[in-house]
């Protein structure tokens, strides 16, 4: 592990944090996690539970068994946060949507500690500086964008990780509401189904995040995960699924006006998930040009990484 940066993961038992921890361990980076005495009680969508069945206690025990350093502390305890940060080189935050604005506390602790080479704020979705999302997602994206501006204003070295659509949210149910496996009879498709989306497994997000940690070329840039085999329209994904199950699905194309109405009428988490689907499938928020002065395309920067394709991911549900 000589020469590897020490990585601290905040939010290590969440839907993405756990995968970043395991990727860090696998890459040989000394890995630290900040653990509170009492976990948060946030109502998680069923999709998250289905994709990540391990409990918090099980995870923490497995982390310890793998040599991860568990540090007791709390984001709201400034001194414990500073003390934790002083032990590492890189801080990766993977907090959920309700804690995005609280990252100003992490930035303040990083500034006081004075030793951090890189901060990865909690993004791990669409590029928050390139989107046309509607509420309730827009507010979260705007909060993330505000954190970017604070980081830049404070002169904290950073990398932004834009991974777009987790397979656990977008693919295991083919973007359908209230199910956790792909449908076998009929499917509702937002818009015409021909807008490109970018899909990636949570485990692969962890891998690419740690690749970016260990890459000096990603300093003060955004890393975009749009993998060639996974940059697909929903129509293309449905066609893959139909071939696997040997039957055609009834396809119901939902116009944008109806989607927007449903988002307004549904409650959380369905309104939030539907707004995410709308952002990618109708507004095309994963479709944009890379600016090499501020962006890195992960598939081009790390061609050695063998990622899970959409085709391979769907095999588990056949």
**182: closest CA among 258, 254, 239, 262?**
239
Q: What is the pLDDT of residue 224?
A: 98
HEC per residue, 185-210: CEEEEECCCCCCEEEECHHHHHHHHH
Residue 305: CB atoms within 10 Å: 13
Task: Please give the average per-residue pLDDT across 1-14, as a whole number.
Answer: 87
SS3 call for 79: helix
Residues labelled as active-site residues: 144
What CA dihedral angle connects 163, 164, 166 and 171, to 10 degrees? -140
Q: What is the pLDDT of residue 54?
A: 78
Residue 278 corresponds to which tokens in the numbers above? 């709308």
Statement: residue 193 has pLDDT above 50: yes
Considering only the C-alpha atoms of the chain, give the largest distance between any 2 of them, rounded to a whole number of Å. 60
Q: Which stretches does DSSP call E strand in the chain?
A: 7-10, 31-35, 69-72, 90-93, 118-120, 159-162, 165-166, 186-190, 197-200, 221-224, 231-232, 250-254, 295-297
Q: What is the pLDDT of residue 305?
A: 98
Burial profile 197-230: b = 16 or more Cβ within 10 angstroms, e = fewer = bbbbbbbbbbbbbbbbbbbeebeebbbbbbbeeb
Q: Residues near 117 by Cβ (< 8 Å), separated by ≥ 6?
A: 5, 89, 90, 157
CA distance 134 to 89: 36
Q: How confident is the model over 253-271, as pLDDT tens digits?
A: 999 999 999 999 999 999 9
CA distance 158 to 311: 33
CB half-sphere exposure, 8, CA atoms < 13 A: 27
Q: How confident is the model over 115-158, as pLDDT tens digits?
A: 999 999 999 999 999 999 999 999 999 999 999 999 999 999 99
DSSP of 140-192:
HHHHHHHHHHHHHHHT--BEEEE--EEHHHHTTTTT-TT-SS--SSEEEEETT
Residue 3: CB atoms within 10 Å: 6
SS3 call for 299: helix
CATH 3.40.190.100 matches 7-317:
no
Q: How confident is the model over 38-80, as pLDDT tens digits?
A: 655 555 666 666 666 778 899 999 999 999 999 999 999 999 9
- pTM of this structure: 0.94
Q: Could you tell me the sign of the dihedral formed by the alpha carbons of 191, 180, 245, 225, in that order?
A: positive
């Amino acid at each position: 592990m000589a020469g590897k940066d020490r990585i601290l993961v905040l939010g290590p038992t969440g839907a993405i944090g756990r995968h970043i921890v395991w990727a860090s361990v696998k890459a040989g980076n000394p890995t630290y996690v900040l653990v509170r005495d009492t976990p948060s009680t946030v109502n998680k969508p069923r999709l998250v539970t289905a994709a990540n069945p391990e409990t918090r206690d099980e995870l923490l025990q497995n982390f310890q068994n793998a040599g991860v350093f568990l540090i007791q502390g709390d984001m709201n305890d400034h001194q414990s946060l500073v003390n934790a940060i002083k032990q590492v080189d890189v801080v990766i935050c993977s907090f959920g949507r309700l804690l995005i604005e609280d990252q100003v506390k992490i930035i303040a602790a990083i500034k006081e500690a004075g030793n951090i080479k890189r901060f990865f704020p909690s993004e791990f979705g669409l590029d928050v500086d390139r989107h046309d999302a509607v509420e309730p997602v827009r507010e979260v994206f705007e909060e993330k964008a505000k954190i970017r501006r604070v980081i830049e204003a404070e002169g904290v070295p950073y990398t932004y990780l834009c991974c777009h659509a987790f397979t656990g949210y977008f693919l295991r149910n083919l973007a359908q509401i209230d199910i956790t496996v792909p449908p076998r009879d009929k499917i509702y498709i937002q818009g015409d189904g021909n807008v490109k989306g970018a899909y990636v497994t949570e485990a692969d997000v962890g891998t690419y995040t740690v690749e970016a940690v260990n890459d000096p070329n990603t300093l003060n840039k955004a890393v975009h995960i749009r993998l060639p085999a996974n940059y697909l329209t929903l129509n293309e994904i449905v066609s893959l699924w139909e071939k696997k199950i040997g039957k055609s699905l009834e396809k119901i194309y939902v116009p944008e006006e109806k989607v927007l109405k449903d988002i307004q009428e549904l409650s959380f988490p369905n309104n939030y998930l539907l707004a995410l689907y709308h952002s990618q499938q109708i507004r095309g928020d994963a479709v944009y040009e890379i600016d090499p002065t501020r962006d890195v395309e992960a598939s081009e920067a790390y061609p050695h990484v063998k990622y899970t394709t959409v085709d391979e991911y769907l095999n588990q549900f056949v």
